[in-house]
Structure 1
Amino acid sequence: MNFLYNLLIISASAILKVLALMNPKLSLFVNGRKETISLINESISEEDKVIWIHAASLGEYEQGLPVIEQLKIHHPTHKIVLTFFSPSGYEVKKNSKIADVICYLPMDTKSKVNSFLTATHPDKAIFIKYEIWPNYLNALKKADTPTFLISALFKENQIYFKWYGGFMHSALNNFSHFFVQNEKSKSLLNSVGYTNVTIAGDTRFDRVSEIVERDNELDFMKRFKKDQFCFVAGSTWTEDEKIIIDYINNNIHPIKFVIAPHTIKEHHIQEIIQSINKKVVRYTDLEHSSLEDCEVLIIDTIGLLTKIYSYADIAYVGGGFVTGLHNTLEPAVFGIPVIIGPQYDGFAEAEELVQLGGVISIKNNIDFQELVDKYFDSEDYSSKIGRINTDYINEKAGATKRIISELNAILTLNN
């Protein structure tokens, strides 16, 4: 199986190089990896102590960020190397100052693993959530490098727990310790012989809790909202937008609407604007528009949504009708009701918040209209629902502190 895995990785690398000639995203994926070793050599010397942290993409990075920040405090003499697997993570964060080196993770071939680990020579390695790369893990084990998986989430349908998953199951043996999100993950690992497991929770709750504490003020949002009821829809797809726009066009209440689409390509922004019969302004045209008189604001840029949520009286999170639900915690942390589409299975926090009543799932535009009208008509009801979300997040916070405390204890014990 080890031979087949290595053959598959080598073959995939070769195929990706060909496909990259025709696909811009794959081109970033392939060509970005050519710079990895030179980026490391520019900042890491043989004498440096190094902590290596790996995130698949942007979501995993957000989960790991609170831990990275604490590691920098607890290990100030170490340098941090942060790697990404996908362009959607690396291209967004490559200029961040959170780490001494930010680069792509080379493919999991034995030669590239050797080159990467020789350049970084980490004395600690941390993988986030799902990242299991057998050759990297085997090499770290052979080098006697303490290696940890944080914010891990395991499910019974994963290959590690199947009769045919022996190769991937054995890769887990290379981790020094698992920090899992829930009891189910711990039980699954226990069932296949792993007892080096701590239920630490999900670091995303610490991340979103920090959002509330920062400065979320946006001058354009203050001018747009004024003292009116504000509805914010984030990361929406076409299926979400049809329902929202139908409500906007027929709405008679004094409500300010903000739509931040997942896709901000020009043709899609124009489709949204043309389908709305109220006065609309787009973020990139604010200098040329009278913002105060507009009823609908279209956010046609990235990086503002979390702050915009702080101005919302209710929020809608997109993706629940077609592609996969986006982040419900970012609006929920502000203590407001959150609306989503019907497909949220597999998103643990959404499942739990739907059950608690802080997040409401709708199936169609009739459900949506009734719900928004109800929130608009009753501030007390809206506040009650919002408090469910705040309490839930407050109860779940603390994973970072538990991970850092246990991590330091393990490392001290092994020294």
Structure 2
Amino acid sequence: MRLLYDLGIGLYTLLLRVVSLFHPKAKLWIDGRKGGVAEIEQTIEKGHRYIWFHFASLGEFEQGRSVLEQIKKSFPQEKIIITFFSPSGFEIRKNTNLAEYVFYLPVDTKHNARRFIEAIQPKFAVFTKYEYWYHYFNELKKQDIRLLMISAIFREQQLFFKPYGGFYRDILKKVAFFFTQNMDSVHMLKWIGITNAGLAGDTRFDRVVELPKVHQENPIVSAFLNGQYAVVAGSTWQRDEELLQQLIIKAEKWRLILAPHEIHDAHIAEIKKLFPKSILYSQFSAYRLEEVREARVLVIDNIGMLSSLYHYADVAYIGGGFGAGIHNTLEAVAYGKPVIFGPKYEKFQEAVDLVTLMIGFSISNDAELQEVFVALQDVEKRCEIGTAALDYVKQRAGATQIIMKYLETEGLLTKSL
């Protein structure tokens, strides 16, 4: 099985090299790793033992951010290295002040794992939610370096729990401790003989609960809305945008703030076709007052401001539910907003919770979206949902404190003298 794993990693890398010839994101993935481990060895300052955080992408970074911030605040002497698998994480957070260095994770080979870990000499490693790399996990175990999984979550359908999943179960056994999002995950790990796990919750709650406290007014958004009701749609894809087009046509008294997942020129052009009288955030000052008043759609053609936009929402729409899975719902819920999303949400514990509590609403087509939206136009109903949403977020905060207590109790973090 190890041979098949290595072959799969090699084929995946080869495929991306081919795709990178005509796909910008794949090109970033390949170009970001051109220097390999040698570039990392030459870049980092020697003589330190770094804390290593790895994130698959931007969403996982936001999930682990509260732990990063708490370490930086309480243990400022510690030095941190962050790695990303995906360009969407690295390109946006490569200059974060929460780490001394940010790198792409070198491809998971035995050679790369050994050299990378020897180069950074981590005090311990933290992976968020998922990504289980055999050679990195194996090398950490061999060098007796503790590996922690935070906000971990498991489902019965995963390979770990299949009769033929022995190789993948062995990867899990390299982990020192799992901080899980729910008790089901603790029980599932126990079922396959892994008992070093405990419920901590999802660290994203610790992050999002602070968002309303630090919100700052955005004069462009305020000018666009001009006191009208707003749907804020975040991380949308084409199918989401097609549904929202029909929604905004019928909802004459509402305006739409659209923050697409992809903001490259081709996608923005497609959005402009769907919403001919839309205006771009980056060009707002160039529009005449009459154009702003006539426009009902503001397209956010930049990255990084979505979480603050939910403050302006009366209803939030979260994209991705017609593809691989919905994006972050909690940023909107933290502002006390009802959320709507597509049908592919069951892999996300918080989305399941939101549907159960009737804070979130899953839709599969235009008719269902219209039905939910009509119900949410009732101000009293939105207020009830808002109260329940805020309670939901506040009650589930605290995972970061549990993780930090473990790190201090186990001697992985100590106050400097």
Q: Does the alignment reach a TM-score above 0.5?
A: yes
**How many positions carry a matched residue from both structures?**
410
Judging changes above 3 Å, is the alpha-carbon distance between structure 1 residues 266 and 25 closer, same or farther for their aligned structure 2 residues? Answer: closer
Q: Tell me which of 264, 271, 282 is aligned to 2:280.
A: 282
Contact 2:137 2:175 in 1 (8 A): yes
Q: Taking structure 1 as the reference length, what is the TM-score of the superposition? A: 0.91
Identical aligned pairs, as a percentage? 41
Q: Which residue does the alignment assign to 1:263?
A: 262
Q: Pairwise mapping of residues 229-378 of structure 1 onto structure 2 (< 5 A)? A: 229-253=229-253, 255-276=254-275, 279-289=277-287, 290=289, 291-292=292-293, 294-376=295-377, 378=378
Matched, 1:177 2:177: yes
What's the offset of the Cα at 1:403? 0.9
Judging changes above 3 Å, is the alpha-carbon distance between structure 1 residues 247 and 55 closer, same or farther for their aligned structure 2 residues? Answer: closer
Describe the SS at the equivalent of 1:330: helix
Contact 1:223 1:292 in 2 (8 A): no
Q: Structure 1 stretch 3-12 or stretch 241-250: which is displaced more?
A: 3-12
Q: Distance in 1 between matches of 2:334 and 2:80?
A: 29
Q: Which residue does the alignment assign to 1:70?
A: 70
Q: Structure 1 stretch 178-187 or stretch 11-20: which is displaced more?
A: 11-20
Q: Which residue does the alignment assign to 1:394?
A: 394
Q: Which residue does the alignment assign to 2:149?
A: 149
Q: Distance in 1 between matches of 2:407 and 2:187?
A: 21
Judging changes above 3 Å, is the alpha-carbon distance between structure 1 residues 3 and 267 closer, same or farther for their aligned structure 2 residues? Answer: closer
Q: Pairwise mapping of residues 16-165 of structure 1 onto structure 2 (< 5 A)? A: 16-35=16-35, 36-45=37-46, 47-165=47-165
What's the offset of the Cα at 1:267? 4.4
Contact 2:124 2:412 in 1 (8 A): no
Q: Which residue does the alignment assign to 1:411?
A: 411
Q: Distance in 1 between matches of 2:192 and 2:186?
A: 10
Q: Structure 1 stretch 395-404 or stretch 207-216: which is displaced more?
A: 207-216
Q: Structure 1 stretch 28-37 or stretch 189-198: which is displaced more?
A: 28-37
Q: Structure 1 stretch 65-74 or stretch 97-106: which is displaced more?
A: 65-74
Describe the SS at the equivalent of 2:34: helix
Q: Distance in 1 between matches of 2:337 and 2:64?
A: 25
What's the offset of the Cα at 1:220? 0.6
Give the alignment's Cα RMSD to 1 decimal.
Answer: 2.4
Tell me the alpha carbon deviations over residues 111-160 of structure 1, each in whole angstroms, 9 at most, x when there is no partner.
11121112101121111111211211121112111211111111222222
Contact 1:49 1:77 in 2 (8 A): no
Contact 2:123 2:412 in 1 (8 A): no
Describe the SS at the equivalent of 1:315: strand
Q: Structure 1 stretch 264-273 or stretch 93-102: which is displaced more?
A: 264-273
Q: Distance in 2 between matches of 1:280 and 1:178?
A: 46
Q: Distance in 2 between matches of 1:353 and 1:208?
A: 15
What's the offset of the Cα at 1:214? 1.5
What's the offset of the Cα at 1:16? 4.3
Tell me the alpha carbon deviations over residues 55-91 of structure 1, each in whole angstroms, 9 at most, x when there is no partner.
1111111111111111223432221011111222112
Q: Distance in 1 between matches of 2:23 and 2:364?
A: 36
Tell me the alpha carbon deviations over residues 179-206 of structure 1, each in whole angstroms, 9 at most, x when there is no partner.
1111111011111222111111111111
Judging changes above 3 Å, is the alpha-carbon distance between structure 1 residues 316 and 85 closer, same or farther for their aligned structure 2 residues? Answer: same
Q: Look up the equivalent residue of 1:64 and give its one-letter code.
A: G
Q: Distance in 2 between matches of 1:402 and 1:305?
A: 28
Q: Distance in 1 between matches of 2:368 and 2:21?
A: 46
Contact 1:216 1:310 in 2 (8 A): no
Describe the SS at the equivalent of 1:34: coil
Q: Distance in 2 between matches of 1:273 and 1:16?
A: 30
What's the offset of the Cα at 1:357? 0.6
Q: Distance in 1 between matches of 2:354 and 2:215?
A: 26
Q: Structure 1 stretch 357-366 or stretch 139-148: which is displaced more?
A: 357-366
Tell me the alpha carbon deviations over residues 284-331 of structure 1, each in whole angstroms, 9 at most, x when there is no partner.
221111235533222222222211111111111122234422221111
Q: Distance in 2 between matches of 1:368 and 1:15?
A: 38
Contact 2:248 2:255 in 1 (8 A): no
Contact 1:40 1:101 in 2 (8 A): no
Describe the SS at the equivalent of 2:411: helix
Q: Distance in 2 between matches of 1:12 and 1:122?
A: 27
Q: Distance in 1 between matches of 2:365 and 2:157?
A: 31
Judging changes above 3 Å, is the alpha-carbon distance between structure 1 residues 14 and 230 closer, same or farther for their aligned structure 2 residues? Answer: closer
Judging changes above 3 Å, is the alpha-carbon distance between structure 1 residues 39 and 326 closer, same or farther for their aligned structure 2 residues? Answer: same
Q: Distance in 1 between matches of 2:146 and 2:270?
A: 52
What's the offset of the Cα at 1:12? 4.3
Contact 2:225 2:255 in 1 (8 A): yes
